[in-house]
Amino acid sequence: MSRWILVLMFLIHVSGCGSLLTSNRATLTVYSQPEGAFLTEVGGGVSGVAPLIVLYDPSTLLQNRDADGCFRVRGFEARWVSGVATTLAQTKFCGSERGAYQITFTRDASQAGLEKDMQFALQIQAVRAQQQQAQAAQDAADAAESAAIAQMFSTWSTPKPIKCESTQAGSTVRTTCR
């Protein structure tokens, strides 16, 4: 089971990079119920642990627009830790080629292994909570460091100007500063 936890932590970390969204692309967020199904795009391509964010280039979507104005793209397979799987051969969403869409794969509760999948979902939630706590601690440390730096600079005073006077006596120059 510890191997699954390591895989889970890695995938949650990697899928966190999905937050680099841009407004000029359509986004599809794929969820699973219970959380934590491994998602694979039909025909290869995108894969990761649900929730998974997939970006679509508008020009690609426009090439896949059907007669009713909806976009049709590859579907996904969702496979839970228990081995139970469900597949959606094609994903259809309607609206803007720059919109935000979502789908949810729901596990068939009558299949064996539901408790195993629910435990895995709880592990994902625990890891996410730890990540949020770590981020909050890092944010607090960053804020404290910024405050300390600001305090340090606020106590510095502007140095007083130095006045120097030079006099020449023969080939010797004497300089006195105050």
Asked if the structure places residue 55 within a domain, the reply is: yes
Please check whether residue 120 is in contact with residue 111, taking contact to mean a CB–CB distance below 8 angstroms: no
Q: Cα separations (Å) of 87 from 2, 13, 95, 145, 173?
A: 27, 25, 23, 49, 92
Asked if the structure places residue 43 within a domain, the reply is: yes
Asked if the structure places residue 164 within a domain, the reply is: no
* Number of compact structural domains in the chain: 1
Question: pTM of the entire structure?
Answer: 0.64
Asked if the structure places residue 157 within a domain, the reply is: no
Q: What six digits make up the tokens of 126? A: 């625990």
Asked if the structure places residue 18 within a domain, the reply is: yes
* One pLDDT digit (tens) per residue for the chain, 178 residues: 455 554 455 555 545 444 444 568 899 999 999 999 999 999 888 889 999 999 998 888 888 899 888 999 999 999 999 999 999 999 998 988 888 999 999 999 999 999 999 999 999 999 999 999 999 999 999 999 988 888 887 777 777 888 899 998 888 889 988 8
DSSP one-letter string for 104-129? EEE--TTSTTHHHHHHHHHHHHHHHH
Q: What share of the chain is helix, strand, coil (3-state, %, to 5)?
A: 35, 35, 30
- Residue 78 structural domain: 2-135
